[in-house]
A and B are shown apart, each in its own frame.
Chain A
């Protein structure tokens, strides 16, 4: 008995040490991004890596911000280009470093995709789970099949479609396919299954309209599911580099990830500038993650349990 507990104690110590080492390994990229962003050029270009900035400077950020500029926002009169031949702006933001615009674009893209996905998926999931309409089986089978499809497979048709819709180099071209991705519907169907049929029946007997039933009874009951889906969609959309790469071609429409990748392609050499860019791309979302950590873990778990 004693030797056994001794052995398990040794194993415990060993596993804790290993865990700490692994944690350091996982923290390393972030450490390197943050220190690298503030290193002076001499440290960046040193032949041997410099582990700690010899001096904390903001030159890298200056370089990043001076490289490209873009208006912080551009509000055009809708469809103005159809009747005026070119877009008519009723408001154009001040010119700022393009990196800020990229951040704004990324937030807009992720939040819009999240909201639209939650609304459409909650409605469709409820219908698939609780409405006995014809063709429901086929639709659900189609949705399950499409879930495993890698986006690269449909990339060329999507590109042609966006070209035809005149949505190339437009954030909506990234947002729409995200909304169409069937995982959300699948997830919300699983959540909606647990709504007791009697409650819905009772609501109908009371003369509640379909929409009213949905907003007052269904939505509150699947709220945890919507939360999980929101987090899922937000992270996926934020990180969906591939779609962004294909659909966005112009500097002021870039997302932050695409912006950094483009900087790397342009100046694979100025690592300081890249680190500053990487810091700008990752720190905001890490802060969001840390603040809402509890919701993130809950959301992920819930999504998996039901999915």
Chain B
């Protein structure tokens, strides 16, 4: 008996909360659903069709054909391999490098510290396109800065075709990507290291712990959340790397990635070009891989 009015109360309250909640969500939802979720479902839908640029043929449902073809497409498999190479190398490199730089600079005095932090952040604000234009010049085969410098120092005799040789080009891409990715992690680590509980550090030092021990036993656990965040965003950013490849190698010399291959498949003027169904199938496969990877990273982070 007594329950009855309370329930209506809460139902009214629930309605109020519903209305208020959705009204507040509405502006954001319009954009989120309109420009992220709907395209995502369209992408999944299109991946089961042979949608293409040809105005003369109608789009038909082809089931899993695109996905089956993907596993027989040597170019795709190669691109997949390269994409994972980028992630596997870049993520640890960025994390370790920024951790080292941060621990070297975080105790420095303010103007010096912020100068270093600024410099390492510079490639991020300069923008990937502007940076790429310089790197293209650095790696140029005939009149490039790197070849000239190396020849001047007597380290090489013949020009090395940095961006035109399999097995070298991708490492050039990784290097450039590395310089444009470390800025944010350094800022984060500097602040995280600064927030480490000094009392614990001092106590350990009194007990005779070495610097290395202090780092692993006390600092590392405390900056773990920052590390996790850095690993996750660097992974996502690496998967999204596009401008470098488009502007430097166009996917040649063993630098094709899934991201670039999707673009090429969709818009390059080839006979396969404009095959949206196939390109979308690649997108779906990629999204699944990223989801799995992110889930693993989160799981690992939580366990720690």
Interface residue ranges, A against B (CB under 8 Å): 8, 15-16, 19, 22-23, 25-30, 32-33, 36, 46-49, 116, 119-121, 123-124, 126-128, 131-134, 136, 139, 142-143, 145-158, 160-161, 176-177, 179-182, 185, 210, 214, 235, 238-239, 241-242, 245, 257-258, 260-261, 264, 271, 274-275, 277-278, 281-282, 285-286, 289-290, 293, 296-297, 300-301, 304, 307
Contact = CB atoms under 8 A, between A and B. Distances in A.
The CB with the most chain A CB atoms within 10 A, among B21, B184, B191, B263, is that of B21
B211 interface: yes
16 contacts: A22-B101, A49-B145, A120-B27, A131-B17, A132-B14, A133-B18, A142-B37, A152-B283, A155-B283, A157-B40, A158-B35, A161-B39, A177-B35, A260-B129, A277-B133, A285-B126
Contacts of A48: 143, 148
Interface stretch (B64-72, B116-124, B165-173, B198-206): B116-124
Nearest to B117: A297
A27 B25 CA distance: 43
B20 A210 contact: yes
A46, A131, A153, A264 — most chain B CB neighbours (10 Å)? A153
A158 B46 CA distance: 12
B143 A242 contact: no
Contact of A8 (B18, B25, B211): B211
Interface of B: 14, 17-18, 20-25, 27-29, 31-40, 42-43, 46, 101, 104-105, 114, 116-131, 133-138, 142-145, 148, 179, 184, 187-188, 191, 211, 226, 229-230, 236, 239-240, 242-243, 246-247, 259, 262-263, 266, 276, 279-280, 283-284, 286-287, 290-291, 294
Contacts of A145: 291
B148 A241 contact: no
A142 B184 CA distance: 26
The secondary structure that dominates the B interface is helix
B18 A134 contact: yes
B134 A32 contact: yes
A271 B127 contact: no
A275 B137 CA distance: 10
Contacts of B144: 49
A260 B143 CA distance: 21
B296 to A, nearest CB: 12
A127 to B, nearest CB: 4
A282 B145 contact: no
A151 B148 CA distance: 38
B116 to A, nearest CB: 6
B136 to A, nearest CB: 8
B35 A126 contact: no
Contacts of A179: 28, 31, 35
A268 to B, nearest CB: 8
A46 B230 CA distance: 42
A258 B243 CA distance: 10
A23 B290 contact: no
A4 to B, nearest CB: 8
A238 B35 contact: no
B134 A152 contact: no
A26 B122 contact: yes
A55 to B, nearest CB: 20
Given A48-B143, A242-B243, A214 B24 contact: yes
Given A150-B239, A264-B247, A158 B39 contact: yes
B37 to A, nearest CB: 7
Contact of B236 (A136, A143, A148): A148
A278 B283 CA distance: 32
A120 B259 CA distance: 29
Please list the 5 inter-chain residue pairs (A to B) with the smallest Cβ-Cβ separation, ordered nearest first. Answer: A133-B21, A180-B31, A124-B28, A127-B24, A157-B42
Contacts of A25: 179
A154 B134 contact: no
A157 B42 CA distance: 6
A23 B108 CA distance: 15
A301 B106 CA distance: 14
A160 B51 CA distance: 12
A210 B25 CA distance: 13
Given A27-B119, A127-B22, A153-B283, 4 more contacts: A32-B145, A133-B17, A278-B134, A301-B191
B40 A149 contact: yes
B24 A124 contact: yes
A228 B206 CA distance: 39
Contact of A271 (B31, B46, B137, B184): B137
Given A26-B123, A239-B127, A286-B122, A180 B116 contact: no
